[in-house]
Amino acid sequence: MKRVLIVDDSPTMRRMVMSSLRSIAEIEFIEAGNGLEAIEKLSLGSVALMVLDLNMPDMHGLDVLQFLRSHNPFKHIPVIVLTTKDDETSRKGAMHAGATLYLTKPFQPQTLLQNANRVLESVKAGS
């Protein structure tokens, strides 16, 4: 079972992301409403993919990304940043911090699904 952690402060957005990814075989969703909760959820078991918003209360998404990339147990987790920030500075900052992909809201469900599948397949091929 692949565990996907959806991190967004909007419950509606988390549901939209989960709905978009439901067709991935053998998938289990974990939700977090902010960065601190995401880090807490990571400690409860392995995660195959994280979909991460940048603008959240308590802990910004870039801080979560930097935490992941600086701690060995989490360095390998692919992260799709899904945010409203559509500027080049934000995109470069997220990619520099270790994002696997950078997508913007509003998003096309099929685009998110295709990218998530591609990321999960590349992880599977690399293991």
Please give the Cα distance from 38 to 51 (Å, whole number).
Answer: 10
- ∠ Cα 20 22 27 (to 5°): 130
- Residues sharing a CB contact under 8 Å with residue 33, sequence separation 6 or more, in sequence order: 7, 8, 9, 11, 14, 56
Q: What are phi and psi of 57, to 5 degrees?
A: -75, 165
Q: Under CATH, to which class is 2-126 assigned?
A: alpha beta
Domain locations in the chain? Answer: 2-126
pLDDT in tens, the chain (127 residues): 899 999 999 999 999 999 999 999 899 999 999 999 999 999 888 999 999 999 998 899 999 999 999 999 999 999 999 999 999 999 999 999 999 999 999 999 999 999 999 999 887 766 5
pTM of the model: 0.95
User: Is residue 106 reached through a cis peptide bond, with omega within 30 degrees of 0 on the bond before it?
Assistant: yes
Q: Residue 55's closest CA among 25, 87, 28?
A: 87
